[in-house]
Every structure is written in C-alpha cells, then in structure tokens.
C-alpha cells in the first residue's frame, strides 16, 4: 500500500472516532488521604496548597515540547527544529483532522467526564499527590480527565517504555505520510473505544514510526496542554529505586520488564512540576516473583493515593494477580474503577464506602466468565447514580467509587 493510502486510512479513522456534591466523608478523605500523607489517616505531610509566588518558574524543554506537539497535530514553536515539517501540506492535513477529532471528543465525552469528576469526586482532587493507574498502557489521556492536577502519575503495562521520537529522522525513513498515519490510527482508537487493544499494541509499538509508549505519552500530554520538561529512561534496582539510563535502548522480549520512562512536565503557566512514571512489567504474581526491583517499587507507592482502573481485562479478579490487587487495596484511599478492576467481593464493607454509577448487567462476551452476581444485586438494590458518558468495554458503562473509611467511621 502506498504512503498516500496509508495517510488517508489514518485520517479517516481519526475523523470517525467518535449532580450531587460529595458528602463530608469524601471531603475528609481528600484531606486525610489525597495530599501526600504517610498514611490514609495520618497527619499531613504537605498542605497541598500551590507554591508561593516566590517559587521559580518551571522551565520546559522547547525541543521536547515541540516533538510532543508535532506528533499531536499541534503547531511547534516558530523557528524550531520541526517548524519546516509543520508547514508541509501533509502535516497540515494531519493536524486539521486531529483537531477535528479531539474537538468532537471533547464535546461528546471529555466535557461530561470533567464535569462529573468535579461533582462526584472528593473535594481536594486538585491537590492529589499521586494517582496510580494499573494496566494503563500509555493512557495518560483518560486519567487526566478525572485527575488533571495530580503531582505524580504512575502507570504501567506490558509494552516497552520506548524512546522520544525524532520526527525528522523517523519520517525520512518511512515517509511523512506513513509516519503521521501511524499516530492517527492509534489516537482514533483511544478516542473511539476509550481503551487500547492489547494484541495490536504488541506489534504497533515495535515499528519504525513508533517504538514503545513514550511517543503516545508525549502526544497525550501535549493534547492536555502540558509542556515537557525532561524525559529520562530508567531501570528499577533493589528497593524499587530508579537508576536513570543514558539512553533508551530497544529491548528484546522480557528485557523490557522493570524498565521505564519518567516524564517531567508542567502546565502552561509553568508554576508546577509534575511527574509521570511509566514502567513495563509482567505484573502477575509469577512475573513479580522473578522481578524483585519492580515488586519493591510497588511497596514505595504513596499510602493514601488515588487508584484509577479501567478496561483492565479483569486480571485483578484472578487469584494469580493477588500482589497488585492487594497493593491497590492496601495503598489507596480512593479507588475509581469499572467492573474490569477489582472484584466487588474483595471490598470489605467494614472498610470501604461504595458508590455505584451507571449500569451493570454483564460483561461483554469476551469476558463473560467474569460476571459478578453480588455486583449485579448491588446495582438492583437502588441508590445508583447516573453516569452521563461511556467508558470501558460495554456500551452501557459502570463506575464504582470506593472511599476508605476512617477508624471508627460508620457509613451514612
């Protein structure tokens, strides 16, 4: 297939992609568990307030930000290394279709999610220290809709961390049309489906156009109006510490496990430095048993963090994913998930206050063996709140919001 047809296919796909305030208990959870405290109900280690005006501005890296913007279909800086490529007709067509697709998604989905989050999530989400997103792949995009102002985001998947793309070199090897079509195809999928297809990711992220998840992380950060400060590949060492690497190699097979990328970024006002950590791992109990550095890292995740889970193929339902499931249940003060996350029966009602949203009937056929009778019954007992958008595998979505109860607290 020639490159013109590839670009056309990518652009078509891209174009076609298609209120209650929280109770006081949730506000207290925000104060106790969402501001970087050592434990969910310990004393505050960080007030969560914005930095004083005397703090120096965060300085973004112009070239890294330009790369992120270019592959996102957003104009890089004038006179920069990618300025001439951004003036080509090929890139202008790609950018126009990208803008149209993102505008449509904002109108049909993103604005509703942001409004829902403001109404339903605990007060204080603008001061969250850490958001943990298991089985995310490169999906910063979705988690940022709910939690746009966290200081630290921790994501993982089985895909290699990859490297920062070089559009000039990469596009020269495969052609600019084919290069941009690869990004158009990936973005169309996440905007249309709200999740990545794991089997396709295994091959698409090993190409000349796109190696690993770093390119898409940068693209989604750009579309969230973030500017890139620094990108550092790393490998976990004993104790879960990050050993930063001089370069990001191509890993063979399981070599990628325990490797990751740290992206520091800032908002357009340059006031706050934020960090996104992505690592590759076989997170099953067997995989972690032979990867002590990654297992150690899980123990360092903040107690009192928020955990978000979506489209996680029901892995934490299974007995041999007990380590990651127990990590979430022991670390999080708030969990927001769909039914593909932690099985409903694993939530101890004496420890968690649960709110249900949307509709739960049954999983899609592919995951039909993960039907939960107790969750089904809970949805039919009433007190289910509406969910005005679709997320996850089913056409009729569900979300569960779990808040850890404080010692001595009883449910209302």
- Is residue 5's pLDDT more than 70? no
Phi, psi of 311 (to 5 degrees): 50, 50
pLDDT at 204: 58
- Residues in a beta bridge with 337: 309, 400
Condensed to tens digits (0 to 9), the pLDDT of residues 104-135 reads 999 989 999 999 999 999 766 667 899 999 99
- Residues in a beta bridge with 112: none
Q: Is 320 exposed, middle or buried (0-12, 13-18, 19+ CB in 10 A)?
A: exposed
Could you give the percent of the chain with pLDDT greater than 90?
69
Phi, psi of 74 (to 5 degrees): -120, 140
Query: What's the whole-number mean pLDDT along residues 222-233?
Result: 98
Residue listed under structure tokens 């930063």: 244
7 three-class SS: helix
What is the pLDDT confidence band of residue 6, given thresholds at 50, 70 and 90?
Answer: very low
The answer to whether residues 69 and 226 touch, using CB atoms and an 8 Å cutoff, is no
The answer to whether residues 223 and 229 touch, using CB atoms and an 8 Å cutoff, is no
- Is residue 16's pLDDT more than 60? no
Condensed to tens digits (0 to 9), the pLDDT of residues 179-218 reads 999 888 888 877 776 555 555 445 555 565 678 899 999 9
pLDDT at 103: 93
The answer to whether residues 261 and 249 touch, using CB atoms and an 8 Å cutoff, is no
The answer to whether residues 127 and 49 touch, using CB atoms and an 8 Å cutoff, is yes
pLDDT at 40: 33
Q: What is the pTM of this model?
A: 0.85
Query: What's the whole-number mean pLDDT along residues 336-348?
Result: 97
Using the CB atoms, write b or e for 389-405: b if 16+ within 10 Å.
bbbbbbeebbbbbbbbb
Name the residue with higher pLDDT: 200 or 293: 293
- Residues in a beta bridge with 352: 404
Q: Which of 247, 282, 277 is nearest to 265 (CA)?
A: 277
pLDDT at 216: 94
Taking the CA of residue 95 as centre, how many other CA atoms within 13 Å lie in the half-sphere pointing to its CB? Answer: 16
DSSP structure class, residue 107: I
What is the pLDDT confidence band of residue 296, given thresholds at 50, 70 and 90?
Answer: very high
Pairing of strands 227-237, 259-266: antiparallel
């Amino acid at each position: 297939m020639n490159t013109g047809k590839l670009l056309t296919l990518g652009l078509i796909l891209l174009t076609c992609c298609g209120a209650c305030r929280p109770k006081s208990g949730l506000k207290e959870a925000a104060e106790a568990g969402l501001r970087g405290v050592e434990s969910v109900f310990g004393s505050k280690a960080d007030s969560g307030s914005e930095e004083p005006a005397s703090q120096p501005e965060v300085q973004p890296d112009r070239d890294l930000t330009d790369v992120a913007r270019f592959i996102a279909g957003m104009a890089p800086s004038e006179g920069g290394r990618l300025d001439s490529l951004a003036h080509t007709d090929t890139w202008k067509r790609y950018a126009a279709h990208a803008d149209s697709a993102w505008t449509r998604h904002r109108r049909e989905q993103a604005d509703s999610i942001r409004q829902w989050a403001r109404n339903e999530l605990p007060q204080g989400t603008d001061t969250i220290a850490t958001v943990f997103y298991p089985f995310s792949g490169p999906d910063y995009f979705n988690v940022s809709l709910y939690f746009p102002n966290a200081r630290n985001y921790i994501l993982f998947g089985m895909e290699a961390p990859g490297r920062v793309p070089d559009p000039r070199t990469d596009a020269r090897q495969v052609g600019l049309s084919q290069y941009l079509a690869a990004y158009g195809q990936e973005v169309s999928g996440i905007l249309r489906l709200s999740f990545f297809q794991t089997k396709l990711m295994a091959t698409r992220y090993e190409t000349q156009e796109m190696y690993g998840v770093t390119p898409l992380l940068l693209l989604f950060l750009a579309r969230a109006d973030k500017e890139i400060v620094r990108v550092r590949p790393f490998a976990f060492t004993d104790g879960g510490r990050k050993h930063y690497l001089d370069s990001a190699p191509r890993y063979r097979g399981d070599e990628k496990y325990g490797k990751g990328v740290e992206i520091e970024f800032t908002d357009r006002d340059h006031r706050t430095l934020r960090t996104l950590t992505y690592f590759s791992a076989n997170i099953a109990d067997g995989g972690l048993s032979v990867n002590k550095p990654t297992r150690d890292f899980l123990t360092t995740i903040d107690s009192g963090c928020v955990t978000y889970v979506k489209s996680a193929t029901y892995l934490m339902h299974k007995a041999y994913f007990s380590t990651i499931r127990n990590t979430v249940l022991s670390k999080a003060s708030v969990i927001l998930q769909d039914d593909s996350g932690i099985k409903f029966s694993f939530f101890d009602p004496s420890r968690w206050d649960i709110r249900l949203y949307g509709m739960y009937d049954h999983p899609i056929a592919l995951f039909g063996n993960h039907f939960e009778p107790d969750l089904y019954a809970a949805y039919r007992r009433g007190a289910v709140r509406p969910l005005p958008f679709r997320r996850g595998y089913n056409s009729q979505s569900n979300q569960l919001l779990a808040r850890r109860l404080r010692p001595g607290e009883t449910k209302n």
